[in-house]
A and B are shown apart, each in its own frame.
Chain A
Amino acid sequence: MILLILLVVLAVVLLAAAVYATIQKDLLYAVLATGVVSLALSVFFYLLQAPDVAITEAAIGIALTTIIFIITIRNTTRDEDKYSEDMINRFKTEKE
């Protein structure tokens, strides 16, 4: 029973993180949410008897994909509604 609950909780975490990643305006948090999606997915794969896939998802999905997203955000803008910012104040999020 506990394991069934675990699967349900995982699915809820997965979808909640995915929705959060879509609606969150601060892209850094959105990207971290995709990392959470990958984490939940990786546990999912493990429970579905696919340890190979779980390790791959953990190494590539959680670590590498998240970091390349973060690099991109540092090179573009962090706030979803502010498409362009002054290059120097890139990490300040105050409204114009």
Chain B
Amino acid sequence: MIKRSFVVFLLLVLGVAVYEAFRQAPFGQNRIGDVENPQSVSAFYLKHSPETLHTANSVTAIVVNFRGFDTLGEVTVLFLAATGLASILYRRKEEEEAAEKGHLPQRIQLPSSVLVRTGAKILFPLILMLGIYVFVHGHLTPGGGFQGGAIIATGFLLMFITYKRFNVNHNVLIWLESLSGLAFVLTGVYGLISYGSFLQNTGWTGRLNDLISGGLIPLIYIFIGIKVGTELTNVLDTLLHTKPRRNE
């Protein structure tokens, strides 16, 4: 009990400190400043996202172009998490052999009725299409590679939990994963070779609010979408196939 009240006291102190520090930046205050003569980074981004990059969604412009290097790192974090997950929960040799023959360890399965199974079958392509739509239109509307990728992963999740025998083809997954990640890096290298700066956008950026606009931004967001979708599906697949064992 003493420990618990000490913890509560500590937390209250921390809470007051954080709250007071953030009150120095009042809620709703305009800290962006003049957009025409940008002093802050946000104003600069808001100015150049429509003017130079011709990208309607300025969050996308920031994520993919202005701070694209962060996003490359973030995709890497996801990739490393999938790798780490696989290394932590890797299957033992006999299971590996069984998996190669197609006898995967039994997946966790929730009981599902005919209605659910039929519904899942109908929904699955729709969810995939929604995901693809979201990342193809990432530069025009809210959403993009991460959101689209996550939506695709939810589609696969639906199939995983309703169908016992639904399995993704691991070879296809690995190919998509590797190639989309590589394509992201290579687009960066393309900028380095032709314009002298890693991840730099092409000079041609089209017209604002066209589907094909923003130069390389939609292309990169498609790569990110595929990468994130396969990566998340991979994570779910690994987790769902871990089978509780009695002894180890």
Contacts and interface: CB of A to CB of B under 8 A. Distances in A.
A–B direct contact (CB < 8 Å): yes
Interface in B150-191: 150-151, 153-154, 157, 161
Interface of A: 51-52, 54-56, 59-60, 63-64, 67-68, 71-72, 74-75, 87, 90
Interface in B191-245: 232, 235-236, 239-240, 242, 244
Given A52-B59, A56-B147, A64 B108 contact: no
A57 to B, nearest CB: 10
A38 to B, nearest CB: 12
19 contacts: A52-B57, A55-B143, A55-B147, A56-B147, A56-B150, A59-B147, A64-B150, A64-B153, A64-B232, A67-B157, A67-B161, A68-B236, A68-B239, A71-B239, A71-B242, A72-B239, A74-B108, A75-B244, A87-B244
B142 interface: yes
B234 to A, nearest CB: 12
A51 B58 CA distance: 12
B154 A59 contact: yes
Nearest to A75: B244
A71 B108 contact: yes
Contacts of A56: 146-147, 150
A87 B246 CA distance: 7
Nearest to B148: A59
A25 B161 CA distance: 26
Nearest to A55: B147
B157 A63 contact: yes
Contact of B150 (A60, A72, A74): A60
A74 B239 CA distance: 11
Contacts of B146: 56, 60
Nearest to B235: A68
B240 A71 contact: yes
Given A56-B146, A59-B150, A60-B150, A67 B236 contact: yes
A63 to B, nearest CB: 5
A11 to B, nearest CB: 13
Given A67-B236, A68-B235, A59 B151 contact: yes
Nearest to A74: B108
Contact of A55 (B142, B153, B235): B142
Nearest to A88: B246
Nearest to B241: A71
A74 B108 CA distance: 8
Most buried by A among B146, B150, B157: B150
When A and B form their complex, which 8 residue pairs have the shortest distance between CB atoms, in order from nearest?
Answer: A59-B150, A51-B142, A55-B147, A52-B59, A63-B154, A52-B142, A71-B239, A60-B150
Interface string B35-56: 0000000000000000000000
B68 interface: no
A2 to B, nearest CB: 19
B78 to A, nearest CB: 11
Contacts of B151: 59
B18 to A, nearest CB: 16
Contacts of B240: 71
